């Protein structure tokens, strides 16, 4: 398995095709180091003996131990461990761990076995390889867009126009961990893709399956990622109450309970999706059918329910943080104004003024920084906007059987008392 140093060294050897602010930059440019700091955590933690069971797996292809982020799910235990690994790693970096796109895309394309532009691709500028798949169902007239392939991130003819999302460096009140993120517009200009790297070429019937499976695996990852972000937000809200010396009030307890419920309901939905996972995919009008070579796919209803519930809560969570913290987050004085202002902003006599100042600076990263705003948008839309989950839920859920049951209970014609009875295998 590679180390963080191996990963960054490999990136440094790649050709320059990353454009930032109109200039070509290296993949290991200082501007990208905060993002590499996040992804590097996945290598560091996998190397620790105590994390071997959670963060590594035995490859079904080679029989060797590999990083779990490169593993194809072989059973429900793999699905559980991917969710728990994601939650643990997101906790350690205080947000998105940024490697879920890779494992989710790989598992999607495993089950479906150039000129153009892919927009808004997270962390492509720090990826060894990029995997291109359709993003929606395709019709016969769309067959020219029914392509899926993988190429190195510095492939001939590929340009990446990149945005880098870093927090502003501080002279005072240094952060304990420096996260970062990037996203790229990826422009393919007459790229030649060798056949051994092509997974889909005109088979438009499979375009929807590629898009559906990636979305499904990514929403399953979200059931580990978003609870971890919730863990961080919960700790932040609880500390804000403590710094303000209002941590024993009833309204604070109610808000903390609300955060906990969203965190654990999202995790529970993902856990259930793992437990009910099978080598099956939902086909509208037919139901669940066997699919692919046998790798495990999480249950779609619970993936979508958990993702939608957690995603819709993003702005409410920010509101709770804002409510508990008050205005000091946005108006905290400059260090040069001296000790007097530290004295008058101190709310809790049992906590040092320096720790309180350190905390308000941290909370400002969440609530009133450019990066904080970007992260909220990412947390809301990442893995699919809530409307997409609502469409998936209502098209896949058996609403008609529930109507038949209610017709029976109400005494209406067409009712069926056994409408929801377990189906026995024939």
What pLDDT score was predicted for residue 280?
Answer: 93
What pLDDT score was predicted for residue 171?
Answer: 80
What pLDDT score was predicted for residue 285?
Answer: 76
Longest dimension (CA), the chain: 79
**Banded pLDDT at 292 (limits 50, 70, 90):** confident
How do residues 125-155 score in pLDDT, each as one tens digit?
Answer: 999 999 998 888 899 999 999 999 999 999 9
- By DSSP bridging, strand 287-290 and strand 280-283 are antiparallel
- The candidate with the shortest Cα–Cα distance to 325, out of 379, 369, 367, is 367
Query: Is the domain defined by 206-394 classed in CATH 1.20.140.10?
Result: yes
- CA-CA distance, 222 to 86, in Å (whole number)? 8
Helix 370-381 vs helix 353-367: crossing angle, to nearest 10: 50
Q: Cα 24–30–31 angle (5° rounding)?
A: 70
How do residues 344-391 score in pLDDT, each as one tens digit?
Answer: 888 899 999 889 988 998 999 999 999 999 999 999 998 889 999 999
Q: Cα 7–296–268 angle (5° rounding)?
A: 90
How do residues 315-351 score in pLDDT, each as one tens digit?
Answer: 999 999 999 999 887 776 566 676 777 788 888 999 9
Q: Give percent of the chain with pLDDT exceeding 70.
A: 96
Q: Give percent of the chain with pLDDT exceeding 90.
A: 75
In which residue are the tokens 């994601």 written? 86
Look at residue 114 and tell me whether its pLDDT is greater than 60: no
Q: For the chain, what are the domain ranges?
A: 206-394
Q: What is the pTM of this model?
A: 0.90
Look at residue 426 and tell me whether its pLDDT is greater than 50: no
As a whole number, the mean pLDDT across the chain is 92
129-143, 242-256, 403-417: the lowest-pLDDT one: 129-143
Please report, for the chain, how many H helices and E strands are present, in that order: 15, 12
Burial class (CB in 10 A: 0-12, 13-18, 19+), 119: exposed
Look at residue 215 and tell me whether its pLDDT is greater than 70: yes
What pLDDT score was predicted for residue 14?
Answer: 97
- CA-CA distance, 411 to 229, in Å (whole number)? 48
**Banded pLDDT at 287 (limits 50, 70, 90):** confident
As given in the structure block, the two tokens for residue 221 are: 């990852």
């Amino acid at each position: 398995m590679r180390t963080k140093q191996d990963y960054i060294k490999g990136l440094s050897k790649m050709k320059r095709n990353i454009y930032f602010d109109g200039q070509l930059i290296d993949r290991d440019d200082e501007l990208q180091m905060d993002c590499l700091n996040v992804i590097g955590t996945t290598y560091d933690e996998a190397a620790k003996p105590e994390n071997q069971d959670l963060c590594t797996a035995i490859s079904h292809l080679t029989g060797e131990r590999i990083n779990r982020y490169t593993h194809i799910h072989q059973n429900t235990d793999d699905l559980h461990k991917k969710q728990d690994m994601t939650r643990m790693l997101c906790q350690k970096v205080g947000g998105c761990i940024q490697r879920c796109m890779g494992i989710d895309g790989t598992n999607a394309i495993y089950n479906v076995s150039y000129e153009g532009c892919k927009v808004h691709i997270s962390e492509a500028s720090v990826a060894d390889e990029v995997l291109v798949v359709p993003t929606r169902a395709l019709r016969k007239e769309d067959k020219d867009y029914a392509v899926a392939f993988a190429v190195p991130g510095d492939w001939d003819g590929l340009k990446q126009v990149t945005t880098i999302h870093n927090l502003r460096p501080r002279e005072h009140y240094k952060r304990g961990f420096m996260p970062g993120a990037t996203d790229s517009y990826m422009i393919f200009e007459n790229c030649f893709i060798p056949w051994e790297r092509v997974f889909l070429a005109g088979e438009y019937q499979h375009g929807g399956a590629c898009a559906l499976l990636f979305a499904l695996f990514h929403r399953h990852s979200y059931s580990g990622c978003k609870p971890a972000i919730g863990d961080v937000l919960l700790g932040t809200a609880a500390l804000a109450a403590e710094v303000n010396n209002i941590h024993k009030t009833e309204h604070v307890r109610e808000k903390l309970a609300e955060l906990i419920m969203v965190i654990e309901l999202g995790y529970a939905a993902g856990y259930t999706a793992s437990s009910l996972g099978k080598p099956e995919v939902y086909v509208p009008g037919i139901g669940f059918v066997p699919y692919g070579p046998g790798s495990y796919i999480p249950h779609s209803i619970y993936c979508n329910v958990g993702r939608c519930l957690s995603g819709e809560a993003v702005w409410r969570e920010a509101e709770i943080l804002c409510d508990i913290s008050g205005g000091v987050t946005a108006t905290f004085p400059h260090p040069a104004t001296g000790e007097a202002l530290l004295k008058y902003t101190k709310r809790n006599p049992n906590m040092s003024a320096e720790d309180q100042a350190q905390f308000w600076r941290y909370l400002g990263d969440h609530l009133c920084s450019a990066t904080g705003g970007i992260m909220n948008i990412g947390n809301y839309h990442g893995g699919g906007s809530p409307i997409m989950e609502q469409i998936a839920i209502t098209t896949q859920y058996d609403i008609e059987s529930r109507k038949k049951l209610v017709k029976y209970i109400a005494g209406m014609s067409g009712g069926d008392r056994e409408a929801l009875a377990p189906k026995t295998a024939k």
